[in-house]
Structure 1
């Protein structure tokens, strides 16, 4: 039985227990205070509250392990429980809890002044019928010293209300935002920088089909940059520099409304593109904790690796929406059980073309001990499913159900032009950064594949072995 937590007075100067299990960018941050126990937010129950003292003004964040008994993202009518979060009486964000398993979550709370503040937690509409309560264990809250500029300009995401579902609460059951992160680069003006914000969504109801997502991107989540802005050396927004990813993946100037420095953007397409005209009556809003950053030289999908629970939500949405082939069959293009895929990341570069024709992409192939003559390909021999973009990229290779890393005898790279003709350019593979399967609960198992080197693929030599055990 979980104890109901009283109101906690916590301070961002308190050193949190080292045993606290939260998202990687929350764990070990001594400027966020921890409160013991579990806050229970019940359907038809009273709102619960936490208080904290901000020693200085800034962007606040909250983190906890969230669980909703009886809830599972793969079951209709039991998809999630929703908690509405307010700071000093102002609704700042919602939390979609898609699992009965304790899951580390962290959210932004917006700008607060120095002094005492009250965070109010309410069981919200949009929760599935099966949802009765939410358990928020070991909450941690405060104004972190690091990444204040990134937090300050993070977009507020207003939930999608349009489309075939015609449901203002649809992000509580489909295409829910899971995690976010930011990246920075120098701007043209010395001392200025550009901050870009990206979000991982549980899936996309429109856009690239699921089999192509698995082949070309190595997942069925949707990952999109949503907002980009230039800031000066003091962290202030440079007027007129805000842009966002609009429908049809267009980049448009942001002309919408700000809350402090937070732009308001609404998910307005079935593939999670944004609009800066926001519905006033949209009930769901999300202010993610954006302090995470993508490791240099790695694919965007690595941010999911650091939050393993995102793979479980990804797979469960595919199951519930009946997008999984049964039984799984690696010889078809359809997506099978996602536990039967090798999730791989590799790095590549493309040389200069020698003539006209299409760009060569690269696919990965896997051979198994049971039949080394058969090559399982990430592109399923579909030309447009090979990967032509350069850098670190993610893909998946479907193999028979029950396959383990120990069953693999080789991982190969295959050069394949993505369209008609072949421009003759080489494709050089320089690394395989990771390769893992999902366990029975759809969580990533440890990676067991790693390789670095340089293999140049050409028209004359279109394939090569990269890794053997």
Structure 2
């Protein structure tokens, strides 16, 4: 909300103007429907949203988007697609995977002073069941300057995965769709310069780490990847030859592709959502996500999903539709069960100095329940490579019997486990549990009711210790 207060806001007739000075003014709404609502129909005309910009800037459009009859969980009803243009130029696409309104925010690119028009068109790639997209409370914002404006200025345009020259050119309308983006900054070596790194959350990954390992090591079935990184100077301008991107095989390569303004154009070109800077001919889908927000210091990347709860539901629905969920769920097996049976936990850890040779230890979490405290449910399912060896704030999940609630938990334990051959003897210390929750019946996160700060160390001699009790 602090960032929004620095924005000038464009709203349709009947919505309030927020922020000052006023940089955008709306013309009378030209879209049919209730005030503050735009309906875009299959086989219907494009709808327009005119606005006047008071100065140069990167624009963002936001709304609550829904598509009656659509469900990301159901084949043939996955999503509706809306193509969004500014002054006749195709800027971004919107994939709407829900019949319920979901708050969304997309970049519109650079706009100059004067009158402009956003055009919204029902697009190819939409599922057969999709007939209409409803956008409630649409508005355009332009940052008044500062970090938000710079972050928007350099945000990547992510072209959809097409499987070119063969395959479905609209893949991201049904699988591995980009959901949200954010940026992080750090100082560069040159005084006054900064490094900006952009990351994206996809609904899943069709390749790469398998789903059970994702749940154990990352606490999710979405895919989260950094996409693009660049150095900017004091004025926010790109420093030549500093742009890099995450290429196939997770390599970091120099960006040699084209820009639209300061936006690099990249394409999702692998089944695990790595990028290429060479774009396939005429790709139909492109995504300029609003990357103006950042991640809170000291928190895991998954907290970005926590503040966009709908991403958990989309992730679960894709797993169901693609047949990746075990039925009935069984915590004793390695397969991913109903995600509503998992405790989603974020905790912080650090690894001490090794005392010998061998593999680095990871930490898993174990849960004991009040009705049977002798049973230990492990986040790593007793698989050595599924424990977490990275330090800092990390996320994991623990699969529990169906119907388990936080009130049923007797204790949460830290479990030290070498990740490979041998054991280098390093201790591991858990310093906090930042949140813990279950998903509700609608696959949305319930409020966190687990939190703890302290210091619990597990060693070769004492490989487990309780870190939380109710």
Bin of the TM-score, shorter chain as denominator length: over 0.9
Q: Measure the CA separation in 2 of the matches of 1:179 and 1:284.
A: 16
| TM-aligned CA deviation for residue 142 of structure 1 | 2.7
| TM-aligned CA deviation for residue 271 of structure 1 | 0.1
> Which residue of the partner structure matches residue 126 of structure 2?
127
**In the TM superposition, what are the counterparts of 1:294-313 in structure 2 within 5 Å?**
294-313=295-314
| TM-aligned CA deviation for residue 116 of structure 1 | 1.2
| TM-aligned CA deviation for residue 280 of structure 1 | 2.8
Q: Which runs of 5+ in 1 are unaligned?
A: 1-11, 22-26
The answer (yes or no) to whether the contact 1:33–1:140 under 8 Å persists in 2 is no
Q: Measure the CA separation in 1 of the matches of 2:38 and 2:212.
A: 41
C-alpha offsets along residues 195-216 of structure 1, whole Å, 9 cap, x if unaligned?
0000000000000000000000
> Which residue of the partner structure matches residue 32 of structure 2?
none
> Which residue of the partner structure matches residue 419 of structure 1?
420
The answer (yes or no) to whether the contact 1:367–1:411 under 8 Å persists in 2 is yes
Q: Measure the CA separation in 2 of the matches of 1:225 and 1:274.
A: 10
- Closer, same or farther: CA 394–33 of 1 in aligned 2, 3 Å: farther
The answer (yes or no) to whether the contact 2:25–2:53 under 8 Å persists in 1 is no
> Which residue of the partner structure matches residue 3 of structure 1?
none
The answer (yes or no) to whether the contact 2:362–2:390 under 8 Å persists in 1 is yes
Matched, 1:444 2:445: yes
The answer (yes or no) to whether the contact 1:330–1:399 under 8 Å persists in 2 is yes
- Closer, same or farther: CA 245–349 of 1 in aligned 2, 3 Å: same
Q: CA RMSD in A?
A: 1.9
The answer (yes or no) to whether the contact 1:54–1:112 under 8 Å persists in 2 is yes
> Which residue of the partner structure matches residue 115 of structure 2?
116
Matched, 1:39 2:38: yes
The answer (yes or no) to whether the contact 2:154–2:262 under 8 Å persists in 1 is yes
Matched, 1:75 2:74: yes
**In the TM superposition, what are the counterparts of 1:161-180 in structure 2 within 5 Å?**
161-162=162-163, 166-180=167-181
C-alpha offsets along residues 98-154 of structure 1, whole Å, 9 cap, x if unaligned?
000100000000001011110000000000000000000001113122511000000
The runs of 4+ residues in structure 1 deviating greater than 3 Å are: 12-17, 27-36
Q: Measure the CA separation in 1 of the matches of 2:168 and 2:10.
A: 43
C-alpha offsets along residues 147-183 of structure 1, whole Å, 9 cap, x if unaligned?
1100000000000011798100010000000000000
Matched, 1:364 2:365: yes
C-alpha offsets along residues 392-436 of structure 1, whole Å, 9 cap, x if unaligned?
000000001111111111111100000111100000000000000
**In the TM superposition, what are the counterparts of 1:248-259 in structure 2 within 5 Å?**
248-259=249-260
**In the TM superposition, what are the counterparts of 1:230-241 in structure 2 within 5 Å?**
230-241=231-242
The answer (yes or no) to whether the contact 2:10–2:141 under 8 Å persists in 1 is no
- Closer, same or farther: CA 250–52 of 1 in aligned 2, 3 Å: same
> Which residue of the partner structure matches residue 354 of structure 1?
355
| TM-aligned CA deviation for residue 272 of structure 1 | 0.2
Q: Measure the CA separation in 1 of the matches of 2:371 and 2:417.
A: 26
The answer (yes or no) to whether the contact 1:182–1:198 under 8 Å persists in 2 is yes
C-alpha offsets along residues 351-375 of structure 1, whole Å, 9 cap, x if unaligned?
0100001100000011111211101
Q: Measure the CA separation in 2 of the matches of 1:431 and 1:404.
A: 21
TM-score using structure 2 length: 0.93
TM-score using structure 1 length: 0.94
> Which residue of the partner structure matches residue 429 of structure 2?
428
The answer (yes or no) to whether the contact 2:427–2:457 under 8 Å persists in 1 is yes
> Which residue of the partner structure matches residue 140 of structure 2?
141
> Which residue of the partner structure matches residue 226 of structure 1?
227
> Which residue of the partner structure matches residue 265 of structure 2?
264
